[in-house]
């Protein structure tokens, strides 16, 4: 089951070739204590200031310490953020806005996958609550700072799994029926629709301050601990690890969307392997995107026009 060097290169996929530096720029990456988030932070720490926003502070500090030692950049900072609790999201945003005057790149990377049925602190189904609603609220709270710092970018880590998703407005929190694989797919479709609607709302509004873009991406099938909630998937991941991307390879498209100069004015797009990728018909449904936006605001008790 070991692929040839040529096959391995195919599995590895696209690489970000940009050498863009980000002196004086500030990046937030959610869930950057492990997997592709950590590798994204490692790359961007060679370019500028990185804030690692994580629920597990001990793991995050260990990751930050390793990245600081490797890159020589002391501006790798850990902040507490639990996307399954809107109180924690608001506290994170409040502290960040008090301490940092600029924010140039927000990478909504953190995610949960294949969780047994559970709810967030606010009663949202865990996949939809963390993967979509948590990042929706975080982006809303940080939007003004991003606008003031433009040119700025929002990067949403979605997945090829969005093809299997649908937005079930009649049962958004899976109380009537629940399948953990599908719940993940639904939340990843929500990421694509959020990106699409956000880009539409931002386009042309802040040209005087510079470009302000929002794009989504599929990192690839990555050998990481994201499948930890499923014993079968963990076992399969181990067996077929040669056919999966390493976390470094999986981070390439996130880094590309964050720094590539050719994406300065590209917005509302979906990428895979550092190039534009096909979006499912449901991911291109503007009516669903608008309705999801409205329902998300209602659930979070915010007004975002």
Of the residues 10, 178, 184, 223, only one is catalytic, namely 184
> Tokens 């790359």 sit at which residue?
43
26-30 sheet: strands from edge to edge: 76-80, 49-54, 26-30, 105-108, 152-157, 212-218, 270-272, 275-276
d(CA 199, CA 155): 11
Q: Are 18 and 256 in contact (CB under 8 A)?
A: yes
Contact of 64 with 38, CB cutoff 8 Å: no
184 is catalytic: yes
Go through 54-83 and write b for each residue having 16 or more CB atoms within 10 A of its CB, e for each that does not: bbeeeebeebbeebbeebebeebbbbebbb
Indicate which residues carry an active-site annotation.
Answer: 184
């Amino acid at each position: 089951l070991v692929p040839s060097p040529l096959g391995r290169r195919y599995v590895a996929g696209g690489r970000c070739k940009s050498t863009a530096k980000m002196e004086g720029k500030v990046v937030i990456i959610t869930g950057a204590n492990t997997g592709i988030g950590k590798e994204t932070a490692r790359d961007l720490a060679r370019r500028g200031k990185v804030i690692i926003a994580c629920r597990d502070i001990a793991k995050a500090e260990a990751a930050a310490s390793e990245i600081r030692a490797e890159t020589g950049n002391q501006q790798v900072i850990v902040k507490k953020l639990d996307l399954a609790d809107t109180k924690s999201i608001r506290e994170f945003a409040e502290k960040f806005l008090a301490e940092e005057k600029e924010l140039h790149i927000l990478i909504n990377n953190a995610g949960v996958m294949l969780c047994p049925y559970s709810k967030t602190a606010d009663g949202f189904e865990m996949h939809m609550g963390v993967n979509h609603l948590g990042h929706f609220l975080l982006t809303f709270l940080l939007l003004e700072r991003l606008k003031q710092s433009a040119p700025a970018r929002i990067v949403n880590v979605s997945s090829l799994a969005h093809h299997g998703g649908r937005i079930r407005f009649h049962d958004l929190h899976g109380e009537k029926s629940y399948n953990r694989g599908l719940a993940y797919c639904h939340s990843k479709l929500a990421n694509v629709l959020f990106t699409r609607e956000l880009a539409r709302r931002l386009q042309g509004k802040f040209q005087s301050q510079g470009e302000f873009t929002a794009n989504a991406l599929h990192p690839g099938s990555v050998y990481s601990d994201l499948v930890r909630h499923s014993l079968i998937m963990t076992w399969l991941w181990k067996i077929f690890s040669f056919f999966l991307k390493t976390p470094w390879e999986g981070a390439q498209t996130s880094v590309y969307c964050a720094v590539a100069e050719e994406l300065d004015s590209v917005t509302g797009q979906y990428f895979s392997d550092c190039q534009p990728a096909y979006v499912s018909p449901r991911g291109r449904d503007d009516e669903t995107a608008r309705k999801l936006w409205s329902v998300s605001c209602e659930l979070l008790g915010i007004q975002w026009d």
